[in-house]
Amino acid sequence: MNRVVTAFSIIAAIIAYSVFAAVVIRREKDELIAVTDEIIAYNDLGDKENAYASAEKLSGIWSDLEKKMSVFVRDDKLHELSKAVSKVGPYINAANDELDAELHNIRRQLQLVYRSELPTWYNIF
């Protein structure tokens, strides 16, 4: 009987951890996507100063969130996001045409990280 209780306790702890991780990652993903949308809007308006300020904000938020997310997400996914986030500021300063592509890449990678960490049947098996 003790083994059954222990097994159910472990399963409940795994489920609780998975749900908690999904909630944290979703909240952080939404925050980063909001900042990327802000950069896109400023860039479309031609407001380079505010776009760069938002890029700095994105970089600051990401540096804090990367530490939190490293508990839940594998390092290779976070490394790709770090590379993409680090390109945004220089692209704004250089008026590079690839800024929109990089911002959409960040959005896509954040969505992929979130979906890959959801405790769904497909992700478990």
DSSP states of 51-118? HHHHHHHHHHHHHHHHHHHTTTS-HHHHHHHHHHHHHHHHHHHTT-TTHHHHHHHHHHHHHHHHHHHS
Q: Flag whether pLDDT at 40 surpasses 70.
A: yes
Q: What mean pLDDT is reported for the chain?
A: 86
Note whether 3 and 22 are within 8 A (CB). no
State the fold for domain 2-124: Four Helix Bundle (Hemerythrin (Met), subunit A) (1.20.120)
Note the pLDDT tens digit of each residue in 63-106: 888 888 887 777 778 888 889 999 888 888 887 778 888 999 99
- pTM recorded for the entire structure: 0.79
Query: What is the spatial distance between Cα 59 and Cα 75, in angstroms, rounded to a whole number?
Result: 17
Ranges of each domain in the chain: 2-124
